Structure 1
Amino acid sequence: MPVHLESHDPDVDLTPGTTKSDIVGFLYRNDEYGYSPQEIRDELDIPHSTAKVTLKRLYDTDYIDKTPDGYYHARSEREDLYRYTAALDGLDRMFTDHEEGISTDDSEQTSPDLDTAKLTDDDIEDAVGIIDEDK
């Protein structure tokens, strides 16, 4: 699949919805704090072994940093990961706004657009562009 050269970042190898992505998103949304592995596990509700392995991999690949006493935090110089997190937040807002427009009183009621809705690469790029403009 072709990539848009202006927005393509080969250094970000994350897939939304994975533990790796969730941890990066959490730490970059809360970049003024450092978190212990236990706090991250509790906040994201992930198993101990999964958190331990994922935190180590993220640290070893310079996605996140760690204080000498073991608190994990965002790396301030990783603008690409701030953009990634902002794009995730923008997509989340788009879907949340769409879902709030649908009545949940009648479980049989559905939006005709919901069944055929597709998120294109252009939609994602537009969301990232809007978020970048807000900075």
Structure 2
Amino acid sequence: MPVDFESYYPTNLPDEGTNGREILEFLAANPETGYRPSELTAELGIPRGSVGTTLSRLHERGLVRHKGEYWAINPEAYDARTASLVGLAAVAEQFEGDYYDENPDWDADLPDIDGAGGDEQ
């Protein structure tokens, strides 16, 4: 799929809706806590075999770290841009189905307060 080259910024993040993204978002929400794969399975409902493989892939990308059997977000790799992408996704999920989500043209009748609308006197 072609992209606008100037506005395209590749990301190291797993795609939305994947096990990797779900694990990463969970660990990012709990940055000081380490979890065993079995605990992530219980918390997220992802099969145990998938959790282990996904954690290894996230580790290869430098997004998570581990000590022994415990895994946590890697704060050095989890920069502000990455945090904001995940944060925006979490906010969008939180408000999914609200009035503004259900009515994409909610702003169509708002007044033009910056004067750029051509209603000059």
TM-score for both structures, normalised by structure 2: 0.70
**Identity, % of aligned pairs?**
23
Q: Which residue does the alignment assign to 1:70?
A: 69
1:4, 1:93 → 2: CA distance? 31
Is the contact made by 1:33 and 1:73 (CA closer than 8 Å) also made in structure 2? Answer: yes
List per-residue Cα deviations over 1:86-120 (Å, max 9, x = no partner): 12112113315348x9xxxxxxxxx6x4xxx59xx
User: Larger Rg: 1 or 2?
Assistant: 2
Tell which has more relative contact order, 1 or 2 (C-alpha 8 A, sep 6+). Answer: 1
Q: Which residue does the alignment assign to 1:38?
A: 38
1:52, 1:86 → 2: CA distance? 24
List per-residue Cα deviations over 1:27-84 (Å, max 9, x = no partner): 00111211111101111101111111111111121111112x2211011122143222
Residue correspondence of structure 1 range 1-135 to structure 2 within 5 A? 1-2=3-4, 5=7, 9-67=9-67, 69-77=68-76, 78-79=78-79, 80-98=81-99, 113=103
Is the contact made by 2:64 and 2:74 (CA closer than 8 Å) also made in structure 1? Answer: yes
Superposed structure 1 runs of 4+ greater than 4 Å apart: none
Cα RMSD after superposing both structures:
2.6
- Gapped regions of structure 1 (runs ≥ 5): 102-110, 119-135
1:19, 1:41 → 2: CA distance? 11
- Gapped regions of structure 2 (runs ≥ 5): 106-121
